[in-house]
A and B are shown apart, each in its own frame.
Chain A
Amino acid sequence: MFFHYFGEYLLLLKSVFKKPEKWSIYKKEIILEMQAIGVGSLSLIVIISTFIGAVMTMQIAFQLVSDLIPTSVIGQINRDSNILELGPTISALVLMGKVGSSISSQIGSMRVTEQIDALEIMGINAAGYLILPKVIAGVIMVPVLVIVAIFCAIVGGLIGGALSGAVSPGDYIMGIRDGFNGFTVWVAMVKAFMFGFIITTVPAHKGFHVRGGALEVGQAGTKAVVIGCISILAMDYIITALML
């Protein structure tokens, strides 16, 4: 069963990356998808990341009970865990729920109402036209959203630390600046790029091959989110194992 779906997924990707019929139409679609994926998810990412950063600061402070450890370490731990793990992974899981289910239901609805058949009858590569702009928009906008998420989490940590009294802003900023390794940002960007690909292609595959009606479109959306989340976590492990 797994190999059947994986093979189907690879064949769909082969169709997706065929040469577009007209680039000008695809460019327009890419811009629209970038707006939907990026701008449409910005407020959600900002709110979630800020709160995660604030909570992280308080939890790290709670666990650092030794007087020998300076409080500036809180900023350092918060920074590295947000860049390496929480920023990319939590954002990707959130985006999978928001963007992934939307992609799956959009394409699935088009399938069951014969709109995809109508595209194919016209001689248009339906997989390419419907999915390629989403994939390009996803691999561009998810890294941008992850950068925003990391920034918001770090700022959230500053605010949370100051409001709770866990760490002073000065100590926190000192920790943020201390021992920064730029490679961690590269790891985050590689993760974000791959997550962007998964967030767009897995739901697109589920939607594109849906059969039935409204009920099956809904079920495909649920399956897409579940499979997508598992794929994100597996990819997270693989990239971490390979790069760190």
Chain B
Amino acid sequence: MIKVENISKSFGKNEVLKGIDAKFDAGKVSMIIGGSGSGKSTLLKCIVGLHEPDEGEVFFDKQEFTSLDFEQRVPIRKEIGMLFQNSALFDSMTVEQNILFALDMFSDMGKSEKIDRANYCLKRVNLAGTNELYPSELSGGMKKRVGIARAICMSPKYLFCDEPNSGLDPATAILIDELIQDLTEEYQCTTIVVTHDMNSVMGVGDYVMFLYKGKKYWEGSNQDILRSEAEALNDFVFASPLMNAAKKVL
């Protein structure tokens, strides 16, 4: 479980997050949605510690995270897996080396055990046999899946995904969504996904939080969205003709 309390963050005079409170449960896919510039990626970065919030606290289970220094955060960070928007694979390393990196750094496994683990992670994301390829030789969808394989290699308790579907075709996007959902159930991890893809939200979002102008504007399940009368949420969700048509059918 991850809990955030009263998180605020400004960049200069630009107030990006204004007192956000939220609770993300283990074993569920929680989605943070909102328009561009609404503060969703900033919130995610505040949660994982890439940005330091100006105010507020983040709890990983019962452990307060924001007041810890780098060394004190390491045990929690070993339990975090993160998929970046652009995958952020180490481009001078092969796919296998990317996955082995965290294992080499932190695990006491033997070499063959680590390679077995890397192969298992690659198989889990349907990329068996790509061990020796470099990130530059992979398609966008494959990079995302390698990113997921790297994120799960240490069996994470907390999984973060920053716009996992951006730049992907619809079929691959659904594949990535299903993978994130399956892994969340398999590892019973607390998964937080930042997205503005409504297909993902309706497909796998157990809990949805809508950010609007830096504030938490709405929260609920993906089914509640369709019945919500919150104006800014409706403007965001039903902006696409497809979702608009779906609303009329319902």
Interfacial residues, chain A to chain B (CB-CB below 8 A): 21-22, 25, 113-115, 117-118, 120-125
Contacts and interface: CB of A to CB of B under 8 A. Distances in A.
Contacts of A121: 48-50, 77, 80, 82, 160
B106 A123 contact: yes
Q: Which 4 A-B pairs have the closest CB atoms?
A: A123-B77, A114-B88, A123-B74, A118-B88
B102 interface: yes
Interface string B77-94: 110101011101111000
Interface string B44-79: 000011100000000000000000001001111110
6 contacts: A113-B91, A118-B84, A118-B89, A120-B50, A123-B78, A123-B80
Given A117-B50, A118-B82, A125 B70 contact: yes
A115 B88 contact: yes
A113 B105 contact: no
Interface residues of B, number: 25
A171 B70 CA distance: 63
Contacts of B88: 113-115, 117-118
A120 B104 CA distance: 15
A121 B77 CA distance: 6
Contacts of B49: 120-121
> Which secondary structure dominates where chain A touches chain B?
loop
B205 to A, nearest CB: 23
B90 A21 contact: no
B110 to A, nearest CB: 14
A122 B91 contact: no
Interface of B: 48-50, 70, 73-78, 80, 82, 84-86, 88-91, 101-102, 104-106, 160
A114 B156 CA distance: 20
A22 B77 CA distance: 16
Contact of A114 (B70, B86, B102, B160): B86
A122 B105 contact: yes
B88 to A, nearest CB: 4
A116 to B, nearest CB: 9
Contacts of A117: 50, 84, 88
Residue of A22, A25, A122 most packed against chain B (CB within 10 A): A122
Contacts of A120: 49-50, 77
A122 B81 CA distance: 7
A121 B105 CA distance: 13
Contact of A122 (B75, B77, B89, B160): B77
A83 to B, nearest CB: 38
A123 B86 contact: no
Contacts of B90: 115, 118
Contact of A113 (B76, B86, B101): B86
Contacts of A21: 105-106
A119 to B, nearest CB: 8
Given A22-B105, A123-B106, A115 B78 contact: no
A114 B177 CA distance: 22
A117 B86 CA distance: 12
A125 B70 CA distance: 8
B86 A124 contact: no
B114 to A, nearest CB: 13
Contacts of B91: 113, 115
Nearest to B77: A123
Contacts of B80: 121-123
Residue of A113, A114, A118, A124 most packed against chain B (CB within 10 A): A118
